[in-house]
Amino acid sequence: MQYDCRIAGELLICTITPDRALDEAVFCFSGMSPLHPVEVGTLSRALGSYTEIALPNLSADTPHKIAIKYAGGFLPANRAWMPLGPYLRVGDNVIALPATELGRHVPERGDVPDHDLLPIVPQPQNWKATGETVAVDGFVVSGDALNAVAALADRQGLAFRGAHPVAILNEDLPVDAYRLVIDNDGVTIAASSFGGQFYAGVTLLTLLREGPLPCGEIYDAPRFSWRGQHLDTARHYYQPESIRALLDVMAMLKLNRFHWHFADDEAFRIELESLPELSQKLKLRGEGQLLPAIFAGAPVQGGAYSQETVRAIIAHAKALNIEVLPEIEAPAHALGLTEVYPDTRDPDDNGLETSVQGYQRNALNPAMPKTWEVLEAIVDEIGALFPFGHLHLGCDELPENTWKGSPRARALMAEHELKTTQDLQGWTIARLASYAASKGYRPAAWEEAAQGRNGGIGNNAILFSWTGQGPGLEAARAGYDVVMTPAQNLYFDMAHTDALDDWGANWAAFVDLPDTISWDPVPDPVLSDRIIGVQGAFWSEFTTQDSQMWPMLMPRMLGLAMMAWQVDRPKPETLNILVPHYNLNDAGRFV
């Protein structure tokens, strides 16, 4: 069985050459967004980007071309826009087709250029060099922080334990700040927190990778308390070891918040004792499952995380000075949840609202008692499972006119004098945030949670500004704490370039390495107390193998780390010089 695909302007030309005659075959695949056939075949099923095309009878050893096209005027930008997980269904038989070339091609990087920078990302605030160096085999390790660094080094295959003495002093410094003195007689670390000691150790580990240690004194402290990286494990199930590897990379870059996006339209990945059917019915997508193979790389694909696995990942993160923020997603991005619990939708709702992903009716209805029964159960169990004390509630991309066709929702709006969809969304997310706060969890949400005539989510929530910085600045002026995660700079699922041979989305921008540092997280100094951090994001709509993540994240995470830690805006030439020091293999380990 042979299969290939190529981009031809606005079309994708797929060629299937079967090794035997096939009658009434159905061509099944997913894509970046909804698609439809242009020539040959008839659209027989579509759910979001998942597409089934009924084909005419196929002759053996004969190439058959099928032209398909993205809806809504979208043009295929690169290889990531080709059909994902293509297969044929012939009667009760499933025939997996060979995938087209997957993932980003990593460009060749030259040797490390000569430079006088400390080979560390992020760069320290202050470095006073003596001009001398000292060759060491490693460090005498004691205490929880340095033992955590030693364990990190072991996982990376790097040396850290050795004979060079280390003295640890308590000094009144900001959280995560440290003072580090390196000389021939030993190393002195001064800090007031576990994080400060840990990051001093990470700096030593990074310097030791490069050879003899430069002697001198470093003073270092982060600009922001929230230095985050997000991972979408709903669209693609990542193995636990891949998540742990990402946490290790974050630690090497002094990032301290992992935003775990495990629930979305397509999946709910964490097993819950109170709602076991959620993960049971939504952990897999594909043939014979509740949802078809949306964004899948095979006829059936997926998985779920047991609570034991979740606790182990949280413990791994904690040892690296990383807190884990769980996200549960409401009221939109709930297609799978509404399929599992139909009573979260008004049966009399005649609306046909459609999400940007192409899903109809993917929002929970706040007028339905089942909605609150399910959401409160999720808040209770997820909140108790994650010790950070923060809970991200979602609240993004609600389709236009959602609930307008629901008599029950319209009655609820009249009862509370709400006029628009955004008003009802604001009322809904504020009620959910109030419940989370009553359980002791600080709520967080995407920028849309500030909308609505009631003032939005309230409840001391943290808002994440993703469509750009503007909504974040407005939220900060309204009194919200804000994390900046602008897609134009820090969405690492965006393609690097406009080349057809590249890989990734492009709805926000093409995001190359210089774009990660070409912005100011706090353009208005008056808001510096309200903008508490920056965060990168990696959405997984076109990721079908864990290894595809690393060339998308790195080296762009270096820019994120610099923006999150350094007080002064990084210089592009500095970032370019340091990139060769941070190469990853297919398992996310430094080489």
Which residues are known to be catalytic?
397
CA distance 243 to 258: 10
Please report how many Cα atoms fall inside a 13 Å half-sphere around the Cα of residue 484, on the Cβ side.
28
Task: Note whether 558 and 575 are within 8 A (CB).
Answer: yes
CA distance 386 to 259: 12
Task: Note whether 526 and 506 are within 8 A (CB).
Answer: no
Cis ω on the peptide bond leading into residue 276 (within 30° of 0)?
no
Task: Note whether 488 and 505 are within 8 A (CB).
Answer: no
Q: Whose CA is closest to 352, among 406, 419, 396, 422?
A: 406
Tokens at 78, concatenated: 């690169």
Q: Whose CA is closest to 511, among 527, 498, 495, 525?
A: 495
| 282 CA to centre of own chain | 19
Q: Whose CA is closest to 266, among 389, 409, 84?
A: 84
Q: Whose CA is closest to 335, among 266, 283, 402, 284?
A: 266
Task: Note whether 425 and 452 are within 8 A (CB).
Answer: yes
Task: Note whether 533 and 564 are within 8 A (CB).
Answer: yes
Cis ω on the peptide bond leading into residue 525 (within 30° of 0)?
no
Q: Count how many residues are written for the chain.
A: 591
For residue 112, the 8-state DSSP code is P
